């Protein structure tokens, strides 16, 4: 493991109080040359303008969040979701990132069939994978913590994500290994090995697990080292497969968002070196 | 499946606005002859007095909640936990219930080792199982949803619970199958079969999964039929193993607690018949 910042990528949501120019300037000052981006702020700033800003700053984009939400039962809703994912792939290509993160979608209202929902995701991937491949972008299925299974993502484990991804070529569909979502799972080490052996770890993301969880549980992630995730062991498992890609820190936390962005970035870098290197 | 209330047990926490006498009276009026109890209200009312009240009402106790919290690293804390579990077993025997539910405990402060914590649970079970057996009480390990893994229960799946239970005789240590905690897990059906084949399903509990989750996530359970749990499929899987024991409804929900107890009980019974029979 390297003990420098050369592998570190800052997901912009971690410091969402910053505009894109502030993010670019802050990362350059801190000696960090990679960022993960989200569609909404990029669309607001403009895709081409964002690409130019990052190129001018010497920054590369490790992932774009997010596509997905592919579980709709209604044909019109499903068609809209596919259109939106094609647009996300175009945006990813415009930013020269090779990875679009997919949050697959939850159960439609009144539906109780997790298996059926995952099959609809597989069908949608079949439509999207060739489109992604033409643009040089990989679809990265992100398993989300089981507490999101009903309303956000019916893919709750790395095993389920790989069962979906393995129906497609590894350079088209892979997975996200995010410590926040997987830390509790005793099957995660074996599934990381499975993913890495097939070249399907398309993104590796870090956030810590802290409690109590806030209402809605979405923005309860912890700064690295503030919770109970063993980052070094996770990183060792991922790197044992040969993975040497970016390590992206993506933390949703109201307290971090209320602070000075430069201070948060410095803390993330220091915690990364202390806990993940 | 029977379509009557003969299998239904009301966990008192579902209607915690009721005193024990109110619970007994309400259940008798509703034609329900089984309850699940919690230690704190029983201690407050008195164990012997509770036992007498229930005997006079013709009610049996399907489970007592809860023992557990067996993950302490500190020897003094561990010793206190074992003493407390022995007291819980005495209370269970005093109530003539055959099942003490165990919420195993979370990670000690600063600790990140889920595997080690589960091994400490196994050690504690080794000390408690003979004591339980002498009193005719079974220890039922309850896997809790992974969102509780750090602060409440490092046993997150039925598979992990069975890995622990199987080190002991089935009539001493088994598991709780609670739909709220297990609904998301695609391994649950196979693990229910594993548990049932060994006679280790010591308790079967129902609650629905609803969102958004409240802060702290503890009291966000849904009334049967209000969420996305497929109770009939769960019950069929449990009964396919030969299980014909009580079906206990245990819902922690602020809205239910704010309502008239008789109304809540009637609704639970109606929802049970509609969704789980």
A3 domain-assigned? no
Report how far residue B38's alpha carbon sits from residue B36's, in angstroms, rounded to the nearest whole number. Answer: 7
A window 96-115, beta carbon within 8 A of B: 107, 111-115
Q: B194 - beta bridge partners?
A: none
Minimum Cα–Cα distance from A114: chain B residue: B184
Window from A2-6, A210-214, B223-227 with minimum mean pLDDT: A2-6
Angstroms from A158 CA to nearest CA on chain B: 12
Establish if A118 belongs to a structural domain: yes
| pLDDT at res. A116 | 98
> Tens of pLDDT along A109-158?
999 999 999 999 999 999 999 999 999 999 999 999 999 999 999 999 99
Q: Write the burial class of residue B254 (CB in 10 Å: 0-12 exposed, 13-18 middle, 19+ buried).
A: exposed
Q: Look at residue A201 and give its three-state secondary structure.
A: strand
Tokens of B211: 């969102």
Domain count, chain B: 1
Q: Is B189's Cβ below 8 Å from some Cβ in A?
A: no
CATH number of the domain to which B34 belongs? 3.20.20.150
pLDDT in tens, B123-161: 999 999 999 999 999 999 999 999 999 999 999 999 999
HSE at residue B182, side-chain half, CA atoms within 13 A, is: 29
In this complex, which of A146, A186, A211 lies closest to B150 when CB atoms are compared?
A211
C-beta atoms of A107 and B185 within 8 A: no
Asked if residue A221 belongs to a domain, the reply is yes
C-beta separation of A7 from A62 below 8 A: no
Tens digit of each residue's pLDDT (9 = 90 or more) over B78-102:
999 999 999 999 999 999 999 999 9
Kindly identify which residue of chain A lies nearest to residue B108, measuring between CA atoms.
A228
User: Would B243 be classed as within a structural domain?
Assistant: yes
- For A53, A143, B104, B121, the CA distances from B69, given in Å and listed in that order, are 53, 29, 5, 8
A163 close to B (CB below 8 A): no
Scan residues 137-156 of B and list those with Cβ closer than 8 Å to A: 145-147, 149-151, 156
The answer to whether residue B147 is domain-embedded is yes
Does residue B184 sit at the A interface (CB-CB below 8 Å)? yes
A203: alpha, beta or left? (left if phi > 0; alpha if psi -120 to 50) = beta
Q: What ipTM does this complex have?
A: 0.96
Q: What is the pLDDT of residue B1?
A: 47
Residues of A in contact with B228 (CB under 8 A): 107, 111-112, 150
Residue A2: band (very low, low, confident or very high) from pLDDT cuts 50, 70, 90: low
Q: Residue A144: which domain range?
A: 8-275
Q: Strand B208-209 to strand B221-222: parallel, antiparallel, or no bridges (unpaired)? A: antiparallel
Question: Is position B158 within any domain?
Answer: yes
- Does A133 reside within a domain? yes
| Residue B147 to residue A215, Cβ atoms within 8 A | no
* Position A3 pLDDT exceeds 80: no
Nearest CA in chain A to B217: A213
pLDDT at B75 over 50: yes
In whole angstroms, give the CA distance from residue A108 to residue A70: 10
Q: Do residues A129 and A164 lie in contact, with contact meaning Cβ atoms separated by under 8 Å? A: no
Within a domain: A14: yes
């Amino acid at each position: 493991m390297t003990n420098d910042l050369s592998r570190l990528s800052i997901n912009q949501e971690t410091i969402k109080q910053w505009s894109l120019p502030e993010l670019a300037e802050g990362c350059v000052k801190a000696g960090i040359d990679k960022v993960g981006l989200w569609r909404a702020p990029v669309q607001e700033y403009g895709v081409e303008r964002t690409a130019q800003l990052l190129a001018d700053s010497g920054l590369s984009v490790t992932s774009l969040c997010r596509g997905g939400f592919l579980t709709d039962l209604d044909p019109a809703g499903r068609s809209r979701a596919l259109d939106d994912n094609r647009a996300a792939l175009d945006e990813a290509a415009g930013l020269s990132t090779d990875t679009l993160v997919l949050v697959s979608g939850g159960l439609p209202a009144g539906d109780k069939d997790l298996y059926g929902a995952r099959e609809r995701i597989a069908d949608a991937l079949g439509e999207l994978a060739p489109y992604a491949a033409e643009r040089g972008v990989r679809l990265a299925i992100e398993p989300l913590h089981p507490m999101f299974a009903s309303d956000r993502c019916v893919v709750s484990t790395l095993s389920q994500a790989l069962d979906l991804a393995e129906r497609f070529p590894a350079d088209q569909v892979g997975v996200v290994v995010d410590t926040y979502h997987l830390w509790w799972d005793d099957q995660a080490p074996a599934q990381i090995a499975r993913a890495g052996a097939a070249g399907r770890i398309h993104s590796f993301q870090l956030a810590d697990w802290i409690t109590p969880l806030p209402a809605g549980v979405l923005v309860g992630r912890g700064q690295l080292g503030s919770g109970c995730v063993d980052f070094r062991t996770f990183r060792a498992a991922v790197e044992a497969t040969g993975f040497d890609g970016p390590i992206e820190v993506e933390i949703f936390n109201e307290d971090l968002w209320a602070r000075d962005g430069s201070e948060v970035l410095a803390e993330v870098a220091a915690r990364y070196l202390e806990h993940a290197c």
